[in-house]
Every structure is written in structure tokens, then in C-alpha cells.
Structure 1
Amino acid sequence: MFVDVYSVLVASLGDDREAPDEIGQHLFQYLERAAKVRTWLDAARKENLYLFLVGPRGSTDLREWRDVQHRIERDERICRKLVWLPPEEESLLERDARRFCERTFMARPWKGAFGDAEELDPLRVVLAAAQVPVTWYDVLESPNVSDRDIAELLVSSIPSTPGKK
């Protein structure tokens, strides 16, 4: 599946909650498939290749499956891998699936109470405030200012008002 510059492979880790150790062969096959897919993707899609793996229902409650999840997700060779361990309870599936999607490129952190176009750069929000001197823009956005000198430059760039200290 292609979503913008992202390429996504989706696969199952099986239905057996009791056998997380037996997923090695399945995982190898999926990684082999992902490696083959990478050979015909353009550079942007190669960098953004994901393998979403789904564990058996109820696996989220089992320590062995969480260990498998962490082991798989830490290994970013070939592609990024994310594992969803769905809950057993039907009423929790949708919420848990949303939580899984929030861990992926599909998350939309900028959507919120103030609409879809909230400011993503907190520094811009601070700089847009009326009490921030305009001269701070140059200081804060300059790549040549060291961390050690930034406070001194910010203080020295505040315009002085005659008669006030």
C-alpha cells in the first residue's frame, strides 16, 4: 500500500497467542518480502518503508508478546517495523487500533482543539507574541550563534527605552 511517500506492508504474526517464539519463520518471510520491495522503490519510498505486523487477539496482555514486539521494533534493518498487539476484548479494539496508528506516520499531532492548522513550531508561537522583541528573530534563527552566547545576544538585542531600566 502507498500513502504519499510511504510504503506499507501489513502482515499477521499468526493467531496463536501461546506461541510467540514460533514467529521467527513468519518474520523472516516478511523481511525477505520487504527487502525485495525495496529493490523497486524510489529513494523517498525506500526511506519510508514500513512493515506493520499484527499479533493475535489478546496478545497485548501477555509479557512474552510484548517482549517480541519490542525486539522486532528495535531492529530497523531493511525497514521500520511496528507491531500491534490487539486486545482480546472487542470493545477495546477500535481505541487500541487508533493508539497504534498514533505511533505511525499516520498520526496527526497538529490536529487539536484549535483546528487543523495549529502552529507546529513552538518557537514561532513565542516569537509571534507581542512582548517579544523583533530583533530576537535574527538571534534565535541564526545558525552561527552558539548556545553559550545566545542569552547574552538576546539580552543585548532588547531595545532600550530612554529613562527606564
Structure 2
Amino acid sequence: MDTWGRVLDTIAAEFSDLREIEDLTRVLVRLGVAAVLGALLGFERERAHKAAGLRTHILVSMGAALFVLMAVRSNFDPEPLSRVIQGVAAGIGFLCAGAILKSESSEQVRGLTTSAGLWMTTAIGLTAGLGHELLAVVGALLALVVLRLEGPVQRWLGGGSPGERGD
């Protein structure tokens, strides 16, 4: 075998984790579902002029999906896989904490809905990455319902607009 043949064999061996079209399709579908669902939530938040918008939600959802995809594709046993999920859940907590701002007034805290949305987006990404795409879709749709109907329900109940409460 010539030098180029050995180089190509070495490169192929390095990227051997997605040799089968079924494996590549599975990864693309899971990451794609995570990206689309993150985009739906992010678009809604961006439409509401919130700091964490489209790109943030897409990256959070895809990142969560990629972490569990890596663990699943590495054939992790349930215990190490649960530690990966716990690590992702704890890690997103730091990002969410940075989105929460307390004002001078002790009654006003901003960013709680943004943080909860990022947390939910992480759960959606984890769910999609684990191969439960339908469950991820249902979770995302219910989250959208909550985000879209909260303002009208508050006004209907006479509680003011969401912006008056801090998020």
C-alpha cells in the first residue's frame, strides 16, 4: 500500500464512529430535532426582546443533545450516562444563574423566565439526544404554550403584564 493509501486509511479510522448511513442519519436527526426545537423556543424569546434568544437556545439544546449523544454512542452504562446528564443539568445552572438579575427593589427579580426557558431547552436537547424525539417535541410545544399564553392569561386575571413583574 502506498503512503497516500495509509494516510486515507488512518483518516477513515479516526472518523469511524459514523461509518454506517444509519448512524449518521440518527445523529443528524437527533441534533436537527434539538436545533429546531431550541430555535422555536429561542425565536419566541427573541420576539419578546429577551436577552437569550434564537442562537442561545439553539446552542443550548444542541449542546445538551451532543453531550448525551456522545455518551450513548460511547456505549456508556446507565450510571455514567446519568452522570453526564447530571453534569449537563448542573452546568446549565451556571448559565441560568447569570441570566437572573435582582434589582435594588427586593420585590423585583428579572430573568427567571429566561433561566427557566434555558433549563427547559436543555431538557429538550437531552431528550432529543437520547432518541426520544416525540417527547422532546411535546415538551417544546407545551413550553411554547406556556410562554405564549402567560401574558394573555395574566391580563385576563387582572394581574398586569408580564413585564411589570420582572420577566
In the superposition, the TM-score normalised over structure 2's length comes to 0.33
The structure with higher relative contact order (CA 8 Å, sep 6+) is: 2
Structure with greater strand percent: 1
In the superposition, the TM-score normalised over structure 1's length comes to 0.33
